[in-house]
Amino acid sequence: MLIYLRVLKESFNFAINALTNNKLRTFLSLVGVTIGIFSIIAVLAAVDSLKKEIEGSLSGLDKNTMVVMRVNFGPTDIPQWKWQQFPDVTYDEFQYLERNTPNLEYATFALNVPAETVKYEDNQVDNVPVAAVTDSYYFIEALKFDEGRFFNASESNSGSMVVVLGNEIANKLFGGSANAIGKKVRIYGRKFSVIGVLEKEGSGLFGNSKDTAVYLPVNVVRRIYGDNNKMNFAQIVVKPKKGIDIEEFKALLTQQLRTKRGLKPDQISNFFINEMQGLADFIEDITRSMNIIGLIISGFSLLVGGFGIANIMFVSVKERTNLIGIQKSLGAKNKFILFQFLFEAVILAVIGGLIGLVLVYIASIIVSQFTGDFQFILSPWNMFLGTAISAVIGLISGILPAISASKLDPVEAIRTGM
C-alpha cells in the first residue's frame, strides 16, 4: 500500500513539473479535456435545470389530471386539417361532464383570453394574462394565498365581479405593504373587487407565472366575449379520484363527451383528452434526447482532449526514457513504471476536468443573474460525474504510453537517453 502511495506522490510531482516546465504544451493538451468536461457538465446541468423548472411549473397539478380540448399536447395520427376543424369544448359540456362522469373529483372550465390592462387609481399594469376559470380551479392547481381567498361556487356560477391577483400584480398596483383585499381594480373597463392575492411563486425561465396573472370567474369573461368567439381557447380540466383505474376513467370520460356531442360509433372523437402524465413523459423524453445529443457533441471535445493527453504522455515517456532505464536498473518493476505514468495521465486529466467544472460553476452564476428566478443548477452528482469522466479519459489516454514505458529495456533506455 505504501509503495502505491509513493507512486501516487511521485506521479503527482511529475504532473506538476510537467505543468510548470512545459506550460504551453500542457495548456494545449488540457484545453481539450477542459472544453469537453465543460460542454458535458454544462449540457447536463442546463437540462437538469430546465427539467426542474418545467416540473416546478407543473407541480401544482396532479399527474393524473387531464385536459379536454380540441388540440393534442403531442403528436397525433389525426391529420392536421381534420383536427383543426374540431369544435372547442363548451361550458355546457363542462357542466354535463361534471354531473355525469363517475369517479370525478374536480373539474374546471377555463378560457384562454387575450391579456388585459389592470388599473387601480393612477397605477396600471399592461399585458396582464387573464385566467378565466371556475371555482374548482383552486383545488386542481392547489393555489396558495398571501391574503384573502379564491372565488367560491356561487360567485363563479353567477359571474360575480371579483378578482384574484397574482403577487406581482398586487405589488405593482398597491405597493408591497398595502392591503389589497376589498380594493376595486378596473379590467375590461369594469370594476372588480379584489378578494385574494396569491403567494409569490417566481417567474422562472418561461416568463409569465401566477405572479403576473389575474383570475376571474369564467362566466364574467363569457358575458364579455360571448361563447362563439374563436379567439378564446376553451378547455376542461378534470381531476379523477385517487386510486381508480386511469385508463378506465379516461374511457368513461371519452364516452360521456361523445354521448353529449351525439357522435356515432363509426365517427372519430372530435376532441382530445391530454393526460398530464403523458405531458410529463413527453418532457422526460425531450430532456433525455437533449442529454444524449449534448453528450454526443461534447464527446468529440473529449476525444480531442484524450488525444491531447495521450500525446503529452508519449512525449513525457520520450523525455524520461533515461530516467525509466535508471529506475528499472535499480529494481523498479514494470508495474511500478506502468502505474507511475497512468497516475500522471489521470492527474493531468482531472486537473483539466476540475478547470472545466470551475468554468461551469462561474457560468452558472452568470446565467442565473440574467434569468430571474430560474436557477442554473450545478448538482453534486454532475460535479462527481465530471471528475469521474476526467479520470476515465486520463486512464484511457494514458494506458498506451504507460504500457510502452513499462516495456522498455533498461539498458536500451539508458543508452537511448544518453
Q: Residues 131-188: pLDDT tens digits? A: 999 999 998 888 889 899 999 999 999 999 999 999 889 999 887 656 889 999 999 9
Q: In this structure, is the dihedral angle defined by the CA atoms of residues 212, 217, 222 and 223, taken in order, positive or negative? A: negative
| 265 and 135 inside one domain | yes
Predicted TM-score (pTM) of the model is: 0.62
Average pLDDT over residues 26-31: 74
> Predicted confidence band at 279 (pLDDT cuts at 50, 70, 90)?
low
Domain check: are 149 and 222 in the same one?
yes
Q: Mean pLDDT, to the nearest integer, of 61-73?
A: 80
Instruction: Say if residue 327 is in the same domain as residue 356.
Output: yes
Long-range contacts of 151-155 (CB under 8 A, 24+ apart): 151/195, 151/196, 151/215, 151/217, 155/217
Q: Are residues 49 and 154 located together in one domain of the fold?
A: no
181 falls within a domain: yes
Which residue carries 457560468 as its cell? Answer: 363
The tally of domains found in the chain comes to: 2
**Domain residue limits at 191:** 87-270
What integer pLDDT is reported at residue 84 of this predicted model?
Answer: 84
Residue that is last in its domain, among 238, 270, 302: 270
* Locus of grid cell 356561487: 154
Give percent of the chain with pLDDT exceeding 90: 22
Q: Is residue 360 part of a domain?
A: yes
In this structure, the answer to whether residues 105 and 250 fall within a common structural domain is: yes
Q: Which one of 240, 270, 300 terminates a domain?
A: 270
Helices (H), 226-333: 246-261, 276-319, 321-329
